[in-house]
């Protein structure tokens, strides 16, 4: 499947890096191909040539792997804590998640990509953790509401009180919530 390396691979990588930054910072519509090209020190027409259209560029720039750890292997009662710590790291090391979050609010392709990640990467693990495997999608969605809500308040909307939370505080407050969403036998436990 892997093509032989093209001579333009360096340019393509620079474009993708610049695109991720711009989409993360400005959202889909405000991030212009011109600005991305300027950041990448490349002619705008090259971006079109390589990725066909703005949508194609976004699709390429928004591929993402959650890199979830093997939660089943860890102690069952530390699932929530492990997950919060993992997401804190991912939010802060990779701007693609922020880009998806910002763009997903107004761009259908971005919203769909988030759905794919949820369904393909988080739901299976949730199904393995919760009492009824059939509830995987539901448990994953619940966990996503809390994780995405924190990301939005802390990294996008930048509510002062959410930004000022220490890493430890985020972990301590959110871990029990995720633990319950993913492992509780029913909502009232």
Q: Supply φ then ψ for residue 164, to 5 degrees.
A: -75, -10
For residue 49, state whether it binds DNA (rule: CB under 7 A). yes
Q: Are 122 and 101 in contact (CB under 8 A)?
A: no
Of 25, 46, 109, 152, the one binding DNA by CB under 7 A: 46
Q: Give CA separation, 12 vs 50, 62, 142, in Å.
A: 7, 14, 37
For residue 29, state whether it binds a second copy (rule: CB under 8 A). yes
Q: Which does 76 bind (CB under 5 to 8 A by kind): a second copy, DNA, none?
A: none
Between CA 38 and CA 20 the distance in angstroms is 14
For residue 44, state whether it binds DNA (rule: CB under 7 A). yes
Q: Which does 32 bind (CB under 5 to 8 A by kind): DNA, a second copy, none?
A: DNA
Q: Give CA separation, 30 vs 23, 56, 91, in Å.
A: 8, 16, 21
**Smallest separation, CB 91 to a second copy (Å):** 13
**Smallest separation, CB 41 to DNA (Å):** 9
Of 33, 122, 123, 142, the one binding DNA by CB under 7 A: 33
- Residues at the contact surface with DNA, assessed by CB under 7 A: 6-8, 11, 31-35, 42-46, 48-49, 52-55
């Amino acid at each position: 499947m892997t093509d032989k390396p093209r001579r333009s691979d360096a340019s393509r990588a620079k474009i993708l890096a610049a695109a991720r930054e711009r989409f993360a910072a400005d959202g889909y519509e405000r991030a212009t191909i011109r600005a991305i090209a300027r950041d990448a020190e490349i002619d705008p027409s090259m971006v079109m040539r390589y990725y066909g259209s703005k949508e194609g560029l976004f699709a390429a720039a928004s591929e993402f792997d959650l890199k979830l750890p093997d939660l089943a292997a860890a102690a069952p009662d530390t699932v929530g804590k492990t997950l919060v710590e993992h997401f804190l790291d991912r939010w802060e090391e990779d701007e693609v998640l922020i880009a998806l979050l910002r763009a997903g609010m107004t761009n259908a392709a971005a919203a769909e990509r988030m759905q794919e990640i949820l369904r393909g990467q988080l739901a299976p693990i949730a199904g393995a953790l919760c009492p009824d495997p059939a509830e995987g999608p539901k448990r994953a969605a619940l966990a996503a509401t809390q994780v995405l809500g924190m990301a939005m308040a802390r990294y996008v909307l930048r509510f002062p009180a959410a930004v000022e939370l220490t890493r430890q505080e985020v972990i301590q407050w959110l871990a029990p919530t995720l633990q319950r969403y993913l492992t509780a036998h029913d909502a009232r436990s």
